[in-house]
Amino acid sequence: MSREMTRRALLASAALGMAGADAAQDTAAKDADKILVVGVSCSPRNGMTTATAMAAALEAAKGVDQRITTELIDLGGMRILGSDGNSSAQAVRETDDDFIKVLPTLDSPNLCAMIIGSPSYYRSMSSLCKAFLEKLAVFREPTMRLADVPVGALSVASNRNGGQELVIEQILMAMLSYGAVIVGGKGKGPLGATLWNAFENDITQDELGMESARNLGIRVAEAALKYKG
């Protein structure tokens, strides 16, 4: 190979390397600019009414700004154990259950907001939701990872006045323990999203409830933008 060919090959390789480095920097910059809104459905029934309402809230959130990405975590069918009295981060990580499957998403550096949803069982959150909230203790050490993160809540019940607002209050009060910033809904749903499962599990027929879910998603997305700065 001649010196000229070698020189050209080296220059071409260097140019490719620079282009690759520029592309990597662009990708890193775009990733850093992402605003992740995570929705957690805490119903033991996978893919049912709570998850459907959460999906609607996340879809509305995504429409607020092109930088916003969303992810739905459906805990239905998962085995998540509540606190045994040891709330240390190490104890949470060492517990043999399915929380470890959702931990990477919750631990994302792009996490800027959360929406937590639960069905109303006897006017209280589901046991799965309670266990999930207790598991978030992993984010208390070494620093309060969820401090100032905007959090909203939604609830589904079998009656129009079936304890949805009580469940929302329970979720939001628990999140104050992690330093989260509480976000409500809009219009007639200032506390959050309240839905009524009166249509044989087709929650989309509850027009008022679905509107409250979408409004909650918008409010949480707006708060996420402010959190991101």
DSSP letter for each residue of 190-228: SS-EEEE--STT-GGG-HHHHHHHHHHHHHHHHHHHHHH
> What is the residue type of 51?
A
- Note whether 56 and 217 are within 8 A (CB): yes
Q: How confident is the model at residue 20 (pLDDT cuts 50, 70, 90)?
A: low
Mean pLDDT of 90-118: 92
pLDDT of 150: 98
pLDDT of 167: 98
Please give the Cα distance from 42 to 117 (Å, whole number): 6
Q: How confident is the model at residue 10 (pLDDT cuts 50, 70, 90)?
A: low
Percent of the chain topping pLDDT 70: 86
Extents of the domains making up the chain = 1-33, 34-228
Distances (CA, A) of 217 to 11, 84, 98: 51, 33, 26
Please give the Cα distance from 160 to 163 (Å, whole number): 8
Superfamily, domain 34-228 = Flavodoxin domain (3.40.50.360)
pLDDT of 27: 46
Q: Taking all residues of the chain, what is their mean pLDDT, rounded to a whole number? A: 90
